[in-house]
Structure 1
C-alpha cells in the first residue's frame, strides 16, 4: 500500500512537473506571441509611416511634373501664336524688300517725266509714262500706297521734315511741299515722305 501511495505520489509529482513545465512553456509562448504582436504593431506603424512618407513624396513629384507640364504647354501655345503671327507678317509684307529696291527706279521715272515735253521727246516721254504707270500699278496691287503730304499736318511717323519755312497764310505744322514721295506697304511705312513744313 505504501508502495502504491509512493507510486501515486510519484505519478502526481510527475504530472505536476509536466503541468508546471507546460504552464511555463505556455507562458513563454504567450510572451513570444505578445512580443511578436507588438513587433507586428510596430511594423505596421513603421510601415504606415513609411507608406505615408512615400505617398507624400509621390504627391510632391506629381505636383511638380504637373506644374512643369503646364509651363511647357503654355510655352508651346506662346510659340504657336508667335509663329502664326510671324507667318502672317511674312505673308503680309513678303514683297517689302523688292518694293524698297524698286522705289529709286520709280523716283527716277518721276524725274524723267518732269522733262519738258517737245516734239522730239514726245514719243519718249509717252513710253516712259506708260512704263511708269505699269510699275505703279504693279506696286499698288501689292498693297503699296503713297503717303499724303501737301496740305496735311506733319506726322513724324509718316513724314521726314528736312526744311522749315515761315508762311503766315498757312497753318502751323502743315506740310507745304513734298521733296520726295513716301510709301506705305499696307499699314507699315517703308519710306517716310521727305517734306518741307511750315513753322
Structure 2
C-alpha cells in the first residue's frame, strides 16, 4: 500500500483488511453456529433419553402398583379361606343335627360336640376365651352388666358369665359380659 492510500484510509477512519483476515472473521460465526448446533443436538439426545427413562419408570411404577393390589387381594383371599375352612365342618355338623331324628338328650349331646368343634376351630386361629367366673373384675376385658349382693365372695369378683368374651393373642375381640360380686363388708381396691 502506498502512502497516499494509507492517508486516505486514515481520513475515512476505516482500516483496510487483508483478504486472509476477512476470511477468518467470516468463518468464525459458522464455527460458532456449528458448535451451538452440536450442543443443541446433544441436549436433544439427553432429553430424549430422559423422556424414555421417565416413560419406563412410569410403566414400572404402574406395574408395581398393579402387582401390589393383586398381591393384597390374594393375601386377603388366602386369609379368609384359611379362616373359614375350620368352620365348614361345624356348619356340616349343624346341618346333620337339624336332619337327625333323636331325643332332646341326643340333640343336646350333638350340640355340645359341635360347640367343642367350634372352640377347637377358634383355638386354631389363636382365639381364646376371656377368663371370667372366679376372676377379679378387669374393666379392660370384662363388661359388668350388674352386681350380686353377697358376703361369700370378695368384692368385684366375677360370679356369672352372661356372654363369653374373646381375645386373639393379647388383643381383645370383645369383652365378656359378666355379673360381679358386691360385698359391702369389703373395701375394693
2:180 aligned partner: 197
Structure 1 residue 140 corresponds to structure 2 residue 130: no
Q: Does 1:82 align with 2:72?
A: yes
Q: Alpha-carbon deviation of 1:77?
A: 5.3
Alpha-carbon offset, residue 62 of structure 1: 4.3
Within a 5 Å distance, the mapping from 1:112-123 to structure 2 comes to none
Is there any run of 5+ residues in structure 1 with no aligned partner, and where?
1-26, 106-122
2:159 aligned counterpart, secondary structure = strand
Question: Residue 160 of structure 2 corresponds to which residue in structure 1?
Answer: 177
Alignment of 1:31-180 (within 5 A): 35=26, 37-38=27-28, 40-62=30-52, 64-65=54-55, 67-69=57-59, 71-72=61-62, 74-76=64-66, 78-94=68-84, 124-143=103-122, 146-154=129-137, 158-165=141-148, 169-170=153-154, 172=156, 174-180=157-163
The one-character-per-residue Cα deviations of 1:83-119 (angstroms, maximum 9, x if unpaired) are 24312331233269989x9xxx9xxxxxxxxxxxxxx
SS at match of 1:194: strand
Deviation at residue 185 of structure 1 after TM alignment: 8.2
CA RMSD between the two structures: 4.6
- Give SS of 1:142's match: helix
Asked whether the equivalents of residues 96 and 185 of structure 1 are also in contact (C-alpha less than 8 Å), the reply is: no
Closer, same or farther: CA 127–47 of 1 in aligned 2, 3 Å: same
TM-score, normalisation: structure 2: 0.51
CA distance in 1, matches of 2:83, 2:115: 17
Please give the TM-score of this superposition, normalised by the length of structure 1: 0.49
Please tell me whether Structure 1 or Structure 2 has the larger radius of gyration of its CA atoms: 1
CA deviation vs aligned residue, 1:51-96 (integer Å, no higher than 9, x gap): 2331342354245335535643553454255224312331233269
Return the structure number with greater helix share. 1
How many aligned residue pairs are there? 150
